[in-house]
Structure 1
Amino acid sequence: MSQLLYEFVSSPHQSANSREGLDAVLAASAVTDDIVVVFHQLGPLQLLTNQVTDQALVRSILPTFKMLDLYDVEAVYVLDTCLQDLGLQQSDLAIELKVLSLKDLTKLRRNAHAILRF
């Protein structure tokens, strides 16, 4: 199976997209190790350490994002311009990510067998 690229682009708790995307990543990790995860647009907001989900009446998926490493999903990135646009630092995010340029994201997209956006 070729590389699967998962793009997390929506804000947290806006819909079930994030949870469904994360479930898809974890399920795919059982059959392939060629998975790339990229957070951009509003996606990095899903990883903020100080999220309060009680008022939204949803369960936080942040602990599950922290399990990506346990599922051998190691290619996890955040787009550099998105961090700047959102006024975030890598230290604001709950998981360790590699910073990616737009040019590098374009290369990943070109090489991916499938791109799934959540």
Structure 2
Amino acid sequence: MKNIMVISSHSPFDNMHTRDALDIALIFAAIDQNVSWLFQGPAVLALRSDQVPQEMGIKNFLKSIKMLEIYDIDQVYVCQSALDLYQLTLAELSIDVRIVNTEQQRQLIAQQDQIVTL
């Protein structure tokens, strides 16, 4: 089993990067890889529980993020500075996450066998 980290750093509605990241995370989890996901920058907005993408004419794929737990993806990390920048609290997020600072992110990345950045 390999440690694979998906890193998202784009807005959830920017060219569907978040949807692609979700698909990749679920695929790796389905083949029994140890998957973690790190949200940086505007990607943290994908985790807001009050998202309504249908109002923008986009299918609501964000509710699928709640399926991560079913696939045993319980290592979801959020960049502290991104939460601060967008003034988000843990209570406003749709799933349980671990908040990490810059040094903790470096350490997590160093522990991975493969990194997928979207």
RMSD across aligned C-alpha pairs, in angstroms?
1.2
Residue aligned with 1:6, SS: strand
Counterpart of 1:58, as a letter, is I
| Aligned partners of 1:5 and 1:115 also within 8 Å | yes
Partner of 2:55: 55
| Aligned partners of 2:78 and 2:100 also within 8 Å | yes
> In structure 1, how many angstroms separate the alpha carbons of the residues matched to 2:66 and 2:55?
22
Alignment TM-score, normalising by the size of structure 2: 0.92
> In structure 2, how many angstroms separate the alpha carbons of the residues matched to 1:85 and 1:17?
20
* 1:37 has 2:34 as partner: no
Partner of 1:109: 109
Counterpart of 2:19, as a letter, is R
Q: CA deviation at 1:116?
A: 0.9
| Aligned partners of 2:79 and 2:100 also within 8 Å | yes
Residue aligned with 1:42, SS: helix
What is the percent sequence identity of the aligned residues? Answer: 24
Query: Structure 1 stretches (4+) deviating beyond 3 angstroms?
Result: none
Matches within 5 A, 1:1-118: 1-118=1-118
Q: CA deviation at 1:22?
A: 0.4
Q: CA deviation at 1:52?
A: 2.1
Q: CA deviation at 1:88?
A: 0.8
Q: CA deviation at 1:16?
A: 1.8
| Aligned partners of 1:33 and 1:72 also within 8 Å | no
Structure 1, gaps ≥5 residues long: none
Q: CA deviation at 1:32?
A: 2.6
1:65-115 deviation per Cα after TM superposition (whole angstroms, max 9, x unaligned): 000000000111111111111111111111111111211110111121111
Counterpart of 1:72, as a letter, is D
Structure 2, gaps ≥5 residues long: none
Aligned length: 118
Bigger Cα displacement from structure 2, 87-96 vs 28-37: 28-37
Change (3 A) 1:74 1:55: same
